[in-house]
Amino acid sequence: MKPIIGHQARWDGLARAFAKGQIPQTLLISGSPNVGKSTFVLRYAQLLLCPELEEDENGLPAPCGVCKTCHQVEIGVHADYRVFRPIVSKTEPITAPETLDSSLIAVSGARDFVEETMRKPLHGPRKVLWMHQFERCQEEAQNAMLKTLEEPPSGAFLVLTTENSRNLRETILSRCWHLPFPRVVESEIESWLYNEFPSSTPQEVLEAVRAGAGRPGAAWRELQRLQESDGTRLSRFAVASEMLKKLDRVSPVAALGLTEEAMKWATVWWEEDAGEGVDLKKLGAKGPRTAAARFLDELMIAGRSMWMQNLDTSEVGAARLDQMRKTRHYILRNANRQLALDVMFGRLIALRPRAATSPVRGR
């Protein structure tokens, strides 16, 4: 089984509730992408469905992790374990890649979820239904689920995961046992990565931890990419950091060059994250918009590390980060990507710290 990194106390609390027969039937888990929500849900589903439970080092119930049921849950084929994911759009009702920011859960998906809760488990006393990225659930779809979330049928255990619980209605929050997942301390991620990748160098682990920004899954993926490249590529954090350093070395006319570079990396990283088996052409304009938004996420991670640790740069850094957030918002709401990035980079350059050296023309 995959280890739970940074959220062991939350797992122990859930395991204690299970041991007392007080496990919630509706669980909401919130946290940043790649912070560990999916790993937690898989372990939770195994706990509820495993027929050969064991005790962990704290004497708490735990799934065995090796039986047929645990294996089927891990690969997503167990009959009493269903995952519901957002779709690209109502006109393109195919499962969306997790990284597609404009995907949605329509009322038809919510009704499928509710209907599935009504069916009795096939192999035991329980079944687990997971609604992934619940923040994408449209208002009508949320309304269709309210009664089921408040009073799930006997034996049905419902899990909702979301990147941002603040955007959920109070009528949803009041019906769930809420577990917020904070970002994980870097030292814990670092130790885990050394165990996962024993051949990695300290520099590779450092770059991965920086890129992860408190998200174990993001750090793991970044280190895997660095290992596969055999030292021939820079980490995302390094690429983003180098681009931000240019802001204080170039004149505003160089904004066009930065936009060109940003769009190149946005496309490369988007294709990496989408993974094999995803037909990017079916996403239409949503794919490039999301690619730009996700690139800005990486840029903001590097920016927070570069600017917000120093009083001399924190004021300008905060203004620059705010400009990036606004640009991300505009792009996801159909603004022209290239124009929005051109304007953003021009403004970021104009927000140069007073101590910065005189700019040079060009890229």
Among 233, 266, 300, identify where a domain stops: 233
Distance CA 8, CA 284 (A): 40
Same domain, 14 and 157: yes
Same domain, 160 and 104: yes
Same domain, 171 and 211: no
Distance CA 158, CA 114 (A): 10
pLDDT for the residue 278: 62
Same domain, 225 and 239: no
Same domain, 198 and 301: no
This prediction's pTM: 0.81
Same domain, 35 and 89: yes
Domain tally, the chain: 3
Amino acid at 72: Q
Give just the sign of the alpha carbon dihedral 248, 252, 257, 258. positive
Residue 149: give its domain's CATH number. 3.40.50.300
Residue 3 placed within a domain: no
Classify burial at 228, counting beta carbons within 10 Å of its beta carbon; exposed 0-12, middle 13-18, buried 19 or more. Answer: exposed
Distance CA 162, CA 173 (A): 12
pLDDT in single tens digits along all 363 residues of the chain = 788 999 999 999 999 999 999 999 999 999 999 999 999 999 999 999 999 999 998 899 999 999 999 999 999 999 999 999 988 767 666 776 666 766 788 899 999 999 999 999 999 999 999 999 998 888 899 999 999 999 999 999 999 999 988 888 899 999 999 999 999 999 999 999 999 999 999 999 998 999 899 999 999 989 988 888 766 678 888 899 999 999 988 887 888 899 999 999 998 888 887 765 566 666 777 888 888 998 999 999 999 988 887 777 889 999 999 999 999 999 988 899 999 999 999 999 998 876 554 555 454
CA distances from 4 to 33, 128, 131, 187, 232 (A): 15, 19, 20, 15, 31
Same domain, 265 and 219: no
Q: Which two tokens stand for residue 216?
A: 């174990």
Structural domain that includes position 209: 186-233
Residue 2 placed within a domain: no
The 10 Å Cβ neighbour count of residue 160 is 28
Residue 1 placed within a domain: no
The DSSP-derived string for 100-138 is -TT-BB-HHHHHHHHHHHHSPPSSSS-EEEEE-SGGGB-
Q: Which two tokens stand for residue 16?
A: 């204690």
